[in-house]
Structure 1
Amino acid sequence: MDWFSEHPEVRTIRVAAADLNGVARGKRVPARFAKALLSEGTRFPYSVLNMDIWGEDIEDSPLVFESGDPDALLMPTERGFMPMPWLDAPSALLPLWMFHPDGRPYEGDPRQALARVVARYQAAGLTPVVATEMEFFVIDDSGKTLRVPPSPRSGKRRTGAETLSLRALDAFDKFFTRLYDACEAMDIPADTAISEAALGQFEINMMHQPDPLKAADDAWLFKMLTKGIARQFGFAASFMAKPYEVWSGSGLHMHFSVLDASGRNVFDDGTDRGSDVMHHAVAGLLRAMPGSTLIFAPHENSYDRLVPNAHAPTGIGWAYENRTAAIRIPASGNRSRRIEHRVAGGDVNPYLMIAAILGAALNGIEDGIDPPPAFKGNAYDQNLEQLPGTWADAIEAFVRCDQIPRIFPQHLIDNFVMTKRQELRYMAELSDEETVELYLDLV
């Protein structure tokens, strides 16, 4: 309760957990119940973490009518209370995750799925070190046509993309200053910001940390925070994969290395090649990539990003220091040897994404498999196996993949497939404009 002693102005609490789409589901609670929330948690129906993108129940889900739509127990994560700087009234957020009433982790919770993968690493005496790169657009969505918002500094609109442009960053300096201040208040380790390749597109990198759960929390909270701060300035911040047809989309790239019990990076063999363990991890990632594409591209709009020559991978291959590759080994000092996974869009659920990547890599390490040779040159010109090209194909590849049950519990797999199949049916009824309106703020 020390947090409330330091923040006596806070009158209300939001308690929230991430559903399978990464949407925050929760309640508003008066601050006087804070102590009880910490010790007793709260209750939601199990089905709340298995809603479709519209927040509707999944038809024929056993979590709803068949079982009587029972309650689960939601308990605070390690994060504890934190401020919500995007709201006008001083408020606190308490992130939660789901358990059965008897205390067992609920296998349909995406955060619990990531914890399960982390436990596998711990059992092997290994610690993943994770960082994410968060790309997003700032968008004026007040009219019928999406466009870049006017600069809060000059009142003018940018007319073109400016990759790594200080001018573009400075045009939104007030927004970024407030965003970084809010990240510090929420203990989100935001590092470098750059302007990206598309109009109104930016990227903020997160610091590497040896706690994948916190890295996923940070990414989930950062998306929530960035959207909220943007609305304070009168525009949207969107992590949807591709809001504009003519511009490249937004990714959520992940970098990771793995430490052994002595703190040594097991991807480092003292050379630029990287260790055999790193190669096994790469092989595991490539093997699971067709099946895990549904995690990395979970929505209809996701597949508009995964097209040739649009700064997003389409082929299943790896390379050294090559940003056209799905799996890139960045140039670095040997002790910093790491893998960059570049497939996921900005619209992903970070918990599922990090679990899918770390789980596939560990499968490869456990099996001791080797990847094909690293390619050189433009990935789009290589004869590579291709990622599933449509949402429907990705759903079926996820169902067929023998690596997915090694990473995720069957209950979550079943729930995710039912969710995506329901969304696939109903998305077919929407126009392009309605699709953008749906995804713009939500994902």
Structure 2
Amino acid sequence: MDWLKEHPEVRTIRVAAADLNGVPRGKRIPVRFAGKVFSEGTRFPFSVMNLDIWGEDIEDSPLVFATGDCDGLLIPTERGFMPMPWLSAPTALLPIWMFHMDGRPYAGDPRQALARVVDRYKARGLTPVVATELEFFLIDDSGKTLRVPPSPRSGKRRSGGETLSLRALDTFDTFFSALYAACEEMDIPADTAISEAGPGQFEINLMHQGDALKAADDTWLFKMLVKGLARTHGFAASFMAKPYELWAGNGMHTHFSILDAAGDNIFNDGTEKGSDALRHAVAGCLAALPGSTLIFAPHANSYDRLVPNAHAPTSIGWAYENRTAALRIPASGPAARRIEHRVAGGDVNPYLMIAAVLGAALVGIEDEMPADPPIVGNAYAQSLPQLPATWNLAINAFDNCALIPRIFERELIENFLMTKRQEIHYMAELSEEEQTELYLDTV
């Protein structure tokens, strides 16, 4: 509440939680009633955390009519208030998460799922250190076809990708300056920005930190900020996996290492190869990849990105300093030895994505799983096990994977399966253009 006292210009607040698709769900509240959220929490139905991508109830879900569509209790996360710089009126956002009325965490809340994984690390005296890299397109969606927005400086449109081009970045300097200022206001640790391979495509890295929940919060909030701020500049920003057929899609790569109780990186053995713990974590991530692909590629459009020779992994393997592999061990000093997980698209729920990565790594460490030898060369050209190539195959793999119940609780698994099966059913009724319109702003 001190933040609100320091910002008397704020007249309304938004309280919001992430549903299974990562879509913010919540309420608008006059600021004079904000204290009630802290003293009593707020309520909305458990089923709201389990809506499909259209925002519709899941048919035959036990969370709806079978239980009277009863309420859960939502209380503020440790994040507290922050500004919403993409709105014209001064407004504060308060992230919340869901519990049962008796105080138990609600298993179907994706943030609670990540907290459960982090608690398992804590029980072993371990702390995961996490960073994310987010790719997105700036898009003019005012016409029948998607295009790069005209440059605010020259009025011209660039027709192709410009990898690591300062000119491309400077074309939208006003937007990026506003974005970095907003990240400062929201305490989102935005680091390097680069232009990527697609037209109007960019990537911003968020700094690594030893609080996986904050890393996921930052990623979720950053997506909300980028999409909202872009609209104030007259164009769209999209994290959908593949908005353009002929260009590479949007990824969301995750870097992670693990510290022991003394603060030492357990992946570091003083060599370039890394420790046994690193290889166990790699093996766990690879073993879980078929089943967790649905987390990393949760939508119909996601599978347009996961195709050979399109800068997204399609096979199950790992390598040192090799971006064609699903898991890459970047070149670094020994103390910074880490794993880069490269499968997820920009359209993921960050809480589920980070939980799946860290949970699989922990299973590998707990079981001391042996890793196959790292690959060398082009992963696309090698005979390797493949990721599920379609949405339907990924749904079945998630349902049948023995490792998924070791990462997520059964209620979340069942809710996610019901959501995706409903979406795949109704998505078949939409044209490609209608799917693009749906995903462009939503994910």
What TM bracket, shorter-length normalisation? over 0.9
Distance across 1 between alignment mates of 2:4 and 2:343:
41
State the secondary structure of the residue aligned to 2:65: coil
Distance across 2 between alignment mates of 1:438 and 1:269:
47
Is 1:153–1:174's contact at 8 Å kept on the other side of the alignment?
A: no
Q: Which amino acid aligns with 2:57?
A: D
Q: Which amino acid aligns with 2:262?
A: S
- 1:328-343 matches, cutoff 5 A: 328-343=328-343
Distance across 2 between alignment mates of 1:33 and 1:65:
31
Which residue pairs with 2:285 in the alignment? 285
State the secondary structure of the residue aligned to 1:325: coil
Distance across 2 between alignment mates of 1:199 and 1:222:
21
1:153 aligns with 2:153: yes
TM-score (normalizing by structure 1): 1.00
What is the identity percentage for the equivalent residue pairs of Structure 1 and Structure 2?
77
Which residue pairs with 1:237 in the alignment? 237
State the secondary structure of the residue aligned to 1:314: coil
- Structure 1 gaps of 5+ residues are none
Is 1:152–1:175's contact at 8 Å kept on the other side of the alignment?
A: no
Distance across 2 between alignment mates of 1:427 and 1:84:
32
Which residue pairs with 1:314 in the alignment? 314
User: 1:207: how far off?
Assistant: 0.2
Instruction: List per-residue Cα deviations over 1:148-186 (Å, max 9, x = no partner).
Output: 001122221112211000000000000000000000000
Which residue pairs with 1:205 in the alignment? 205
Which residue pairs with 2:23 in the alignment? 23
Which residue pairs with 1:256 in the alignment? 256
The number of aligned residues is 443
TM-score (normalizing by structure 2): 1.00
Is 1:294–1:395's contact at 8 Å kept on the other side of the alignment?
A: yes
Which residue pairs with 2:12 in the alignment? 12
Instruction: List per-residue Cα deviations over 1:246-290 (Å, max 9, x = no partner).
Output: 000000000000000000000000000000000000000000000
State the secondary structure of the residue aligned to 1:66: helix
Which residue pairs with 1:166 in the alignment? 166
Distance across 2 between alignment mates of 1:378 and 1:292:
23
User: 1:37: how far off?
Assistant: 1.0
User: 1:429: how far off?
Assistant: 0.3
- 1:363-382 matches, cutoff 5 A: 363-382=363-382
Q: Which amino acid aligns with 1:371?
A: A
Which residue pairs with 2:105 in the alignment? 105
1:38 aligns with 2:43: no
State the secondary structure of the residue aligned to 2:115: helix
Distance across 2 between alignment mates of 1:283 and 1:240:
29
Deviation >6 Å, runs of 4+ = none
Which residue pairs with 2:129 in the alignment? 129
Which residue pairs with 2:53 in the alignment? 53
Which residue pairs with 1:138 in the alignment? 138
Instruction: List per-residue Cα deviations over 1:318-363 (Å, max 9, x = no partner).
Output: 0000000000000000000000000000000000000000000000
Instruction: List per-residue Cα deviations over 1:343-389 (Å, max 9, x = no partner).
Output: 00000000000000000000000000111100100010111100000
Distance across 2 between alignment mates of 1:214 and 1:379:
33
Q: Which amino acid aligns with 2:399?
A: V
Q: Which amino acid aligns with 2:131?
A: A
Which residue pairs with 1:384 in the alignment? 384
Is 1:297–1:345's contact at 8 Å kept on the other side of the alignment?
A: yes
State the secondary structure of the residue aligned to 1:348: coil
Distance across 1 between alignment mates of 2:323 and 2:176:
26
RMSD: 0.4
